[in-house]
Amino acid sequence: MTCFAQGSRSSLSYIVESTFGTTPAGNFTNLPFSTHSLNLTKERVAGNDIQADRMTRVDRHGNRQTGGDIVADLRKGDYDAFLESAMLNTWATDVLKVGTTPKHFSIEDYAADIDQARVFTGCTVSSMAISIAPNQMVGTTFSMVGKDMSMGTTEKTQDAPSGNSPFDAYSGDLAIGNVGSPTTSAIVTGIDFTLNNSFAPTFVIGDDSAPCLEVGRAEIEGTITAYFEDAALINRFLDETETALSVSVDDPTGGNEYTFLFPRVKINSADVGVDRPNSRIINMSFVALYDDTEATNLKTTRT
């Protein structure tokens, strides 16, 4: 008897769509991942009739869409297309800024041990969350929204991933300071940020899947934790000082650096509690704003 599908025998792969919701011909690209929760969901349409026996007669399937999270250890190359999708732009001379052009994928979730595949179409990155802290890989969550899903029994032909090692927090730097001139800081213990595009399906009469996805603003917010060394960071909150923030990550080779620059941020909180007898920590929240010089609220640079 064939055993049940195992997570250890699963793979994800993708191909960029030229037409929303239509899987093009060609090889898919293998996508390294840690976990994922991609699924098709359907709304329900229930009848409203009242019967003397109190029992419902009608329940039908309504609007359908796909979605879920792809969680991965960020590294050079393998997620560049997903960074483009999250930032609605394309790399130009190894620089990526927030733009307005969506990128959609067909994504295959293949269970090799039972030879079953789910293919999700019209998928895009609705939000991207990145977590950088000591003693961990750089964690990334791509929250996807899409059009539809179909089943298959043949794995797509896949191109291999890059083979690059994941990024960690030891091979990079963090700089914080005035707009245009952030300086390296050695007291930050972690940074998490999320880019939210608020993609959502647009449903119409005559079709239970969306003909397109609508998109909201590119809203970027995050948190920083740092040792309480002096008043400098707290004063940026007190004085509402516009601040520049830059964080770079790399793998052990030292030659695959990615830098995330927030050229203009506002620090909106600076909490300093005491919850243990050890070092005190400042917990800060921030929002990234459009900067006239960089013409973006987030600039990603790769080497």
Q: Which residues, at least 6 apart from 276, have a Cβ–Cβ distance to it below 8 Å?
A: none
So what's the pLDDT on residue 199?
96
The CA distance from 211 to 207, in Å, is: 8
Query: Any alpha helices (H) in 79-171, and if so which ranges?
Result: 80-87
pTM: 0.95
pLDDT one-digit tens code per residue, 38-82: 999 999 999 999 999 999 999 999 999 999 999 999 999 999 999
So what's the pLDDT on residue 153?
87
Q: How many CB atoms lie within 10 A of CB 115?
A: 13
Q: Which of 33-37, 39-43, 272-276 has the lowest mean pLDDT?
A: 272-276
pLDDT one-digit tens code per residue, 123-133: 999 999 999 99
Q: Which residues, at least 6 apart from 85, have a Cβ–Cβ distance to it below 8 Å?
A: 102, 103, 104, 105, 124, 125, 142
Token couple for 218: 């590119």
State yes or no: pLDDT of 184 exceeds 80: no
The CA distance from 172 to 186, in Å, is: 11
Token couple for 58: 């009608």
Among residues 176, 184, 173, 190, which one has the least CA distance to residue 136? 190
What are 175's strand-pairing partners?
184, 246
The CA distance from 29 to 45, in Å, is: 37
State yes or no: pLDDT of 12 exceeds 80: yes
Which stretches does DSSP call E strand in 104-218? 105-111, 116-132, 139-146, 148-152, 158-159, 174-178, 181-184, 188-196, 200-201, 213-214
So what's the pLDDT on residue 1?
56
* 149 touches 120 (CB < 8 A): yes
Instruction: Provide the 3-class DSSP secondary structure of residue 262.
Output: strand
Instruction: Provide the 3-class DSSP secondary structure of residue 135.
Output: coil
Which pLDDT band holds residue 248 (cuts at 50, 70, 90)?
very high
Taking residues 182-193, report their average pLDDT: 84
Query: Any alpha helices (H) in 147-303, and if so which ranges?
Result: 232-238
